[in-house]
Amino acid sequence: MAKRELDIQGIGMTSQRTRDRLVGRLRERGIKNEAVLAVMGKIPRHLFVDEALATRSYEDTALPIGHGQTISQPYIVARMTELLLAGDPPPNKVLEVGTGSGYQAAVLAALVKDVFTVERIEPLYRATRALLYDLGYRNIRTFLSDGSWGLEREAPFDAIIATAAPETIPPALLEQLAIGGRLVIPTGKQMQAQVLNVITRTGESSYETVAHEPVLFVPLVSDRQ
Ligand code: SAH
């Protein structure tokens, strides 16, 4: 087998058995969407973190990815993806705010047609863009910009997912949702009680919000005032 394939497959603490154990834990914690579980059982999360952390990459925890940012905890990735896909009809075109390591984008790319993802920290944007290309993802488009403005030129989106928490929801994200589309977004102050919200656009100017579980995210840093 080629070295690249071996790297992707992993060994020991990064092997398929370890990924299967993580899937078992996600199932125990209440993730029900089998397609999400199957995808997370395949994607080599160990390649989305620094090599020094690879052996911890299938623990159900967030891990540092540099620049004060983290790769989200697998349970949270699974939960947000499950909530995002629960729309009717399921989304084809999805915007992610907060590319970070690219892991959430990779999970989405296996489940929807097109993923657009926005990151504001240039070195993260560059490294992740290269990694996703290297791993063969061709339906993820990466952008360097402030995602609190959404991604106007590609709007509307069937669904939007934010993997960083603003205190209040940026209006652009609501405006760039297709009617019937949903926004999955944590809100709240840094290091205080944050909550995971699902907001569905039910009409031109009507929205329905459902608050789900408490969560802990890095802040959505906005250049807008
Ligand atoms: N989805 C990522 C999670 C990374 S943490 C993953 O799977 O690894 C959240 C990311 O959001 C960080 O990389 C941070 O730089 C980014 N971020 C914060 N505010 C942002 C903004 N206004 N626009 C775009 N990205 C933002």
Asked, for residue 50, whether it belongs to a domain, the answer is no
**What CA–CA distance (Å, rounded) separates 120 from 88?**
31
Catalytic positions are 72
Å from CA of 87 to ligand 1 middle? 23
Tell me how crowded residue 77 is: count the other CB atoms within 10 A of its CB: 26
Contact 181, 159 (CB under 8 A): yes
Q: What distance separates the 2 farthest-apart alpha carbons in the chain?
A: 55
Residue 185 within a domain: yes
**What does the pLDDT read at residue 224?**
65
Q: Give pTM, 2 decimals.
A: 0.97
Q: Is the peptide bond before 156 cis (omega within 30 degrees of 0)?
A: yes
Euclidean distance between CA atoms 14 and 173, whole angstroms: 36
CATH number, domain of 171, equals 3.40.50.150
Q: What's the confidence (pLDDT) of residue 109?
A: 98
Pocket residues: Cβ below 6 A from ligand 1? 69-72, 97-98, 100-101, 103-104, 118-121, 124, 146-148, 163-164, 218, 220-222
pLDDT at residue 174, rounded to an integer: 98
Q: Which domain holds residue 99?
A: 61-215
| 223 within domain boundaries | no
Classify strands 114-119 and 69-71 as parallel, antiparallel or unpaired. unpaired
How many separate domains does the chain show?
A: 1
pLDDT in tens, the chain (225 residues): 688 888 899 988 999 999 999 999 999 999 999 999 999 999 999 999 999 999 999 999 999 999 999 999 999 999 999 999 998 899 999 999 999 999 999 999 999 999 999 999 999 999 999 999 999 999 999 999 999 999 999 999 999 999 999 999 999 999 999 999 999 999 999 878 899 999 999 999 999 999 999 999 999 999 765
- Tell me how far the alpha carbon of residue 3 lies from the centroid of ligand 1, in angstroms: 31
Residue 205 lies in a domain: yes
With respect to residue 17, please indicate whether it lies within any of the assigned structural domains.
no
Q: Whose CA is nearest to atom 16 of ligand 1?
A: 98
53 belongs to a structural domain: no
Residue 175: how many other CB atoms lie within 10 Å: 13
Domain presence at residue 90 = yes
**Which pLDDT belongs to residue 59?**
96
Helix, coil or strand: residue 161: strand
The answer to whether residue 16 sits within a structural domain is no
The Cα–Cα gap between 163 and 219 comes to 9
Choice from 97, 117, 126 to test ligand 1 binding pocket (greatest atom count within 8 A of CB): 97
Instruction: Report the 10 Å Cβ neighbour count for 152.
Output: 10
Mutate to test the pocket of ligand 1, among 49, 215, 220 (most ligand atoms within 8 A of CB): 220
Residue with tokens 């297709």: 178
Pairing of strands 140-144, 157-162: unpaired
Q: Which atom of ligand 1 is nearest to the CA of 67?
A: 15
Confidence at residue 2, expressed as pLDDT on a 0 to 100 scale: 80
CB 53 within 8 A of CB 64: yes
Which residue in 122, 31, 128 sits closest to 74, CA to CA?
31
Atom of ligand 1 nearest to the CA of 103: 7
